[in-house]
A and B are shown apart, each in its own frame.
Chain A
Amino acid sequence: MATAVDKTKVPWWVANLIVPLVNLLLALLVSGLFIFIAGENPLQAVRLIIYGSFGYIEGFAYTLYYTTNFVFTGLAFAVAFHCRLFNIGGEGQAYIGGLGVFLVAINLSFLPVPLVWLLATAGAVVFGAAWAYIPAYLQAKRGSHVVITTIMFNFIASSLMVFLLVDVIRDFKQMGPHTVALPKELWFPTFKELAHLFGVKIRYSPLNLSFLIAIAASFFVWFLIWKTKWGYEMRAVGHNTKAAIYAGISPHKNIIIAMLISGGLAGMLGINEILGVHHKIVAGFPAGYGFTGIAVALMGRNHPIGIFPAAFLFGILYQGGSEVTFDMPNITRYMFVAVQGVIILFSGALENLFRPQIESFFVNRINKEKMA
């Protein structure tokens, strides 16, 4: 209590910009130490990261492709979090969302293409939401904690998908656990095609229409949370359940709505991966994006304006990291998983480690300026 900084005196840019940046810097320092111990030059690694993610057009497109995934899963986590639900089931919801995309697209491929896209997106949302519904119901009616149930549902989703990909919807002409490809005309237009229109030749780029959908989803979440009755009620339940009941707002209903929207957003990862990149369901396509989304949301303070840059940062790390592992033999892919872990640790779990010191430093400086 004695060290508490008077929150009202902390300027917004200190709390929302300086503190996350300091945490990020610390994480990078520790990561640099890892790279140094592994026998490589950390500065060279940074140079490679920056080159890999910004230095050439294909690299930058990759960065934005990863960003798209993190925006979806970050928004998903944030929506549930505003209702104080810790939805760590984004991974499973994304996986099942992908199933929705594929099933809709393959079965309705006779419809006009834009309509298929629309319905497949709806399929992603509905399937992802449905996968979140059971944990939501159990939380609302039975009080089973969503942290427990959603993580269990990640495992169930993964097992279910393996079963389907091996025994039910596999492309039986192949040995691998994946489905047949969608007809080519249903593939999302990519950045490569757009560049070609302007006469720029690009070898390959996974960046596709989904990036724009992710931007739209960010606006949607902002509007939902701060401008609608639903967002208002969810936040009321999240901040003070007792008061919500007093005001006639049903916590049960809002827990379920928040989880459905959260699951739906996570499911949208499926459109990027399936309509945009793989064009079929590949076993394990969510590849941890669902979990990284938690860190993205926490780093972005659960606000779309914060989530977008945080997602971009993780995009840089993913893309730049793969560049580093390519060029530096001592740095393996797992090294970069560790780097991400350190970032998550510093900007998520240890978020408040240096906050009091940083805030009081700035508050004192501002006080002194006022005195002078």
Chain B
Amino acid sequence: MVSPILELKDINKSFGHVHANKNINLQINKGTIHGIIGENGAGKSTLMSIVFGLYQTDSGTIKINGKEIKLKSPRDSILSGIGMVHQHFMLVENFSVLENIILGFEGELVFGKNLEKAKKDLKNLCDTYKLNIDLESTISDLSVGFRQRVEILKSLYRGAEILILDEPTGVLTPQEVDELFKILRSLKEEGKTIVLITHKLNEIMDLTSEVSVMRQGEMVGHKKTESTNKEDLAEMMVGRSVLLRINKSATKPGNAVFSVRDLVVKDDLDVTRVKNVNLDIHEGEILGLAGVTGNGQTELLEALSGIRKIESGKIQLFNETISNKNNFFDPKLLKEKGLAHVPEDRQRMGLVTDFKAYENLIFGYHHQEPFSKSSVLKEKEILSFSKKVMEEYDVRPRSPNLITSNFSGGNQQKIILSRELNENPKVLLVGQPTRGVDIGAIEFIHQRLIDMRDKGAAILLVSVELEEVLSLSDRIVVMFDGNIVGEKINKDVTDRELGLLMAGVA
């Protein structure tokens, strides 16, 4: 009989009237990799934040190694042997690996004895788990995959026996994911316990021995991974059966309506991020742009949507030049010409998170009738519009007066999509449409994009999720270091091939 290292009993937590965790029971056995899956807003992150001491429970008990403990802050959790690798890394970019790891645990005023000891311990840990990290290198010089390893090393150094990873693969290339999985397996071999929070079913099947499924704040089931499959898990998560891969008809692309010629774009620091890009997007086609984050996709999207000035080249919409090195149309004008943009970073660009939902549902269209007339906002019209689209796009909760930051990521994304797709744009630029969005909503969003395509829209899909690019696109281009390094027709390509292109080795 294996003993549970972590035991949660009847955990409850609410935020306002949102009951984020309802009577959660969970047992995690020592030396296993335990998956926790669920849609966004299902309460996984809340639950793990409770375990890591970031939130306090309203009621319920937590036991570690059979002993009941109170976790009032992350420090308590760290001392109890719990480590967490967050989705967004908590590292000081201009510090070295070593400095980051000992931060807050220096243990002495002037570095000396303890630092030497720390170095030795860290070297040992690196060797044991084959982490292969140079302790002296600066974080900003490291790739995302390595930064994640630094986070893992940090937790291990602080004595973590239980390591919680929150959506660890979202930012990694396929090759980096393989490396991470190797590390996680070797951690397990050495007797560590790993809790993997994810919404990717492949990862659960690959890596875990047990899996717990959450839905709408409740734990809906615990399974042995070997005795379940992806379809069952997806159904448990969503509460109905889901299509894992979208059905779509063959495409009948029309004329090129959006074209980019010899485009060069610099970022805010004057670094050239887009180097000589050429693209054509046709009516009735989804062009997928794959690539690892930070290879110029962000700047490309911003240039195409009239947010960023370009250095040289030109961008044309319906044969009209909308951007050249001297001038560009602003987003307001582009909207009138039939171009809509779902930005990559929904919280920092797509939404004003402090606004109420209805204010965001008209964001960028607020000056148009029927939303405003002679500069006065028409609240009645805006509210009835909001209710209509929230119903249509199944935004939950259906409260147009709720502040947007209180919606889950998936629902925030739906707010943006309902706003941008409502006007039936002829050209649609979409960045990371399903980042941090749950399976049920992904299916819905994907279906909407296909519908738009079938209605004749020209769509550019920028995504770091290979699965998504493969599932939706008719044609795929790969961006690496500011250049388009390959173009493939979707049906002739494998994810291995794309992965190599994305890594810049092919």
Contact = CB atoms under 8 A, between A and B. Distances in A.
A245 interface: yes
Contacts of A178: none
B307 A240 contact: no
Nearest to A367: B58
Interface in A239-256: 239-240, 242-250
B352 A236 contact: yes
A2 B353 contact: no
B355 A239 contact: yes
A140 to B, nearest CB: 16
Interface in B70-123: 72-74
A247 B334 CA distance: 10
Given A6-B15, A245-B331, A229 B58 contact: no
B53 A2 contact: yes
B305 A9 contact: no
A248 B341 CA distance: 11
B366 interface: yes
A248 B355 contact: no
A8 B406 CA distance: 8
Contacts of A235: 352, 355
A237 to B, nearest CB: 9
Nearest to A9: B16
Interface string B325-350: 00000111111000001010000111
Contacts of A243: 348-352, 363
Contact of A232 (B53, B332, B341, B377): B377
B367 interface: yes
A119 B34 CA distance: 75
Interface in B2-44: 14-16, 18
A107 interface: no
B54 interface: yes
A245 B402 CA distance: 24
Nearest to B346: A243
Contacts of A228: 372, 375-377
B70 to A, nearest CB: 12
B262 interface: no
A236 B54 contact: no
A248 B376 contact: no
Given A232-B377, A235-B355, A236-B355, A248 B364 contact: yes
B352 to A, nearest CB: 5
A2 B363 contact: no
B401 to A, nearest CB: 13
B330 A2 contact: no
Given A232-B366, A247-B364, A367-B58, A8 B16 contact: yes
Report, as a range, how many residues of chain B touch the other chain: 35 or more
A238 B14 CA distance: 30
Contacts of A236: 352, 355, 363
Interface in A1-43: 1-2, 6, 8-9
A249 B372 CA distance: 15
B354 interface: yes
Contact of B333 (A242, A247, A248): A248
Contact of B349 (A9, A239, A242): A242
A249 B332 CA distance: 8
A230 interface: yes
B359 interface: yes
Contacts of A227: 376-377, 379
Contact of B372 (A1, A229, A246, A250): A229
A6 B18 CA distance: 12
* Nearest 4 pairs of A and B residues by beta carbon: A248-B332, A8-B16, A247-B364, A2-B73
25 contacts: A1-B54, A1-B73, A2-B73, A6-B16, A8-B406, A228-B376, A228-B377, A235-B355, A236-B352, A236-B355, A236-B363, A239-B354, A239-B355, A240-B354, A242-B348, A243-B348, A243-B351, A243-B352, A246-B305, A248-B330, A248-B332, A248-B335, A249-B364, A250-B330, A367-B58
Given A2-B74, A243-B352, A246-B341, 14 more contacts: A2-B72, A2-B73, A8-B16, A227-B379, A229-B367, A229-B375, A236-B352, A236-B363, A239-B352, A240-B349, A240-B354, A243-B348, A246-B331, A247-B332
